[in-house]
Structure 1
Amino acid sequence: MTYRLILVAVSLCISSQAIAGHVPPLVDAEWLDERLHDDDLAVLDVRSSIDEGGDRESFIAARIPGSRYSNYTDDGWRESRNDVAGLMPDVDQLEQLIGGLGISNDSTVVIVPAGTGPTDFSWLDRASEP
């Protein structure tokens, strides 16, 4: 099945030492709260053990109601090819990953990182590229 996604990448809690100053989110908590029950909204919480970004347990403890969890380092957002680590997987693999999270062509996606370290923003951006 082919998915053609338009992702709205959002960071509600960017806490990054790699970015100087305050980076405002693309949408704020009020906007999200007003839309949490929209059928086409998918809140994707992407976490990783990198920079103590957390795992499923930390997601459960701090999750946005109705959000979906994906582990950036373990769930297929990146792969190694020809001895090069951290590359985007091919389109078919991304379609499976995104579709497996219940995200379709009709979804409006808000991607939320854990907000724990400097790499949060980079994997948030990586997940929003497909």
Structure 2
Amino acid sequence: MPRIFSNLLLAAAVLLGASFAPAVAQPLVDIDWAKANLGKPGIVFLDLRSGGGLTKEGYLKEHIPGAIFTDYAKDGWREKIDGVEGMLPPPEKVAKLIGSLGITNASHVVIVPMGRAAVDMGAATRIYWTFKVLGHDNVSILDGGYQAWAAVDEKTKQPINPIASGGAELPPTTFTPHFRKEMVIDRNDVKKAMEAGVPLIDNRPNDFYVGLTTSPVVKRAGTIPGAKSLQESWLTKNNGGSFRSKSQLQALYKQAGVPVEGEQITFCNTGHWASLGWFVSSEILGNKNVKLYDGSMAEWSQHPELPVEQKFKLD
């Protein structure tokens, strides 16, 4: 009887959506997985094509059936803090946003980026990192993004996969954050790491790295002294919406002089491109000792006492 009672409790817990261990999803899912799991309870497709320039109107015209929309720039995923653009808001504030979208702590969130270029895949990795910081491991990214989902049959010229129009919404709910403070570092942590010789990885395009180009939110051109350059465009196939294989990434890291294990810190201008580097190192290559510097050069460059190296200057 005790064993039967225990089994009944387990079955009831499953039916109620409870779990006895935190759910851990695969970092990347492909189109076949998405098709097989479309419409299943507990799986939420989060349309993040706004990170690739799509408006809400564009989403209403076509999207993956059941996918809910969020605006990467406007909904509150990032905000200006202490004069620094693009920072992670307080955990409770982001949790309120997540709950308003109908996402619970039991939801498996599948982030759907545009999938045209590495830069919009960066929106997906940034939101993925945000979920991880809030203690939510049941999150994945659709490799190839919506571009892969919306592929057209060469003969019929019709979409291979189902596409819906109109809006899709979930009832607002409560999402409780479990903040992993060890994942969020500030400029003082980076300074100590720099002085200790911990590898610092600049995931911006090379013209930013050498100091030829400067973001409007960055006060001084250049990079953190000693940083290695590993451009975000290297991390996806042909700078597109699909990540490179593990073996290819390992070869590219070797070419860039970037280790694939051990402590390291990724950064960029505002923590967007750097999230791509963090995702590849942590989630694809399996280096759990990598951290993302949220403030990046936007914060670092605002403090005159912190050094910036400009590798090339034009007269």
Take 1:73 and 1:111, find their aligned partners in 2: how far apart are those partners? 15
Q: What's the TM-score once normalised by structure 2's chain length?
A: 0.32
Take 1:91 and 1:103, find their aligned partners in 2: how far apart are those partners? 15
Matched with 2:112 is 112
Matched with 1:22 is none
CA deviations over 1:2-41 (Å, ceiling 9, x no partner): xxx978586xxxxxxxxxxxxxxx2111211111121100
Q: Tell me if the contact between 1:40 and 1:107 (Cα under 8 Å) persists in the aligned partners.
A: yes
Partner of 1:119, secondary structure, is helix
Matched with 1:32 is 34
Structure number with the higher strand fraction is: 1
Take 2:82 and 2:120, find their aligned partners in 1: how far apart are those partners? 26
Matches within 5 A, 1:12-91: 26-48=28-50, 53-91=53-91
For structure 1, the 5+ residue unaligned runs are: 11-25
Matched with 2:99 is 99
Q: Tell me if the contact between 2:48 and 2:114 (Cα under 8 Å) persists in the aligned partners.
A: yes
Higher RCO (CA < 8 A, seq sep 6+): 1
Q: Tell me if the contact between 2:79 and 2:89 (Cα under 8 Å) persists in the aligned partners.
A: yes
Partner of 1:72, secondary structure, is coil
Partner of 2:48, secondary structure, is strand
Structure number with the higher helix fraction is: 2
How many residues of Structure 1 are paired with residues of Structure 2 in the alignment?
A: 109
Take 1:85 and 1:64, find their aligned partners in 2: how far apart are those partners? 31
Q: Tell me if the contact between 1:45 and 1:113 (Cα under 8 Å) persists in the aligned partners.
A: yes
In structure 2, give the amino acid aligned to 1:36: L
Take 2:24 and 2:77, find their aligned partners in 1: how far apart are those partners? 15
Take 2:24 and 2:114, find their aligned partners in 1: how far apart are those partners? 18
Q: Tell me if the contact between 2:48 and 2:124 (Cα under 8 Å) persists in the aligned partners.
A: yes
- Alpha carbons of 1:116 and 1:62: their partners in 2 closer, same or farther (altered >3 Å)? farther
Deviation of 1:80 (Å): 0.3
- Alpha carbons of 1:73 and 1:8: their partners in 2 closer, same or farther (altered >3 Å)? farther
Indicate the RMSD between aligned Cα atoms, in angstroms: 2.2
Matched with 1:126 is 126
- Alpha carbons of 1:119 and 1:79: their partners in 2 closer, same or farther (altered >3 Å)? same
Take 1:46 and 1:36, find their aligned partners in 2: how far apart are those partners? 17
Deviation of 1:73 (Å): 0.3
Deviation of 1:118 (Å): 4.0
**Sequence identity of aligned pairs in percent?**
36
For structure 2, the 5+ residue unaligned runs are: 1-21, 132-315
Following TM superposition, where does structure 1 have runs of at least 4 consecutive aligned residues deviating by more than 3 angstroms?
A: 5-10
In structure 1, give the amino acid aligned to 2:76: G
CA deviations over 1:33-57 (Å, ceiling 9, x no partner): 1111211000001133x65x21111
Take 1:7 and 1:56, find their aligned partners in 2: how far apart are those partners? 30
Q: Tell me if the contact between 1:40 and 1:106 (Cα under 8 Å) persists in the aligned partners.
A: yes
Q: Tell me if the contact between 1:42 and 1:103 (Cα under 8 Å) persists in the aligned partners.
A: yes
Q: What's the TM-score once normalised by structure 1's chain length?
A: 0.74
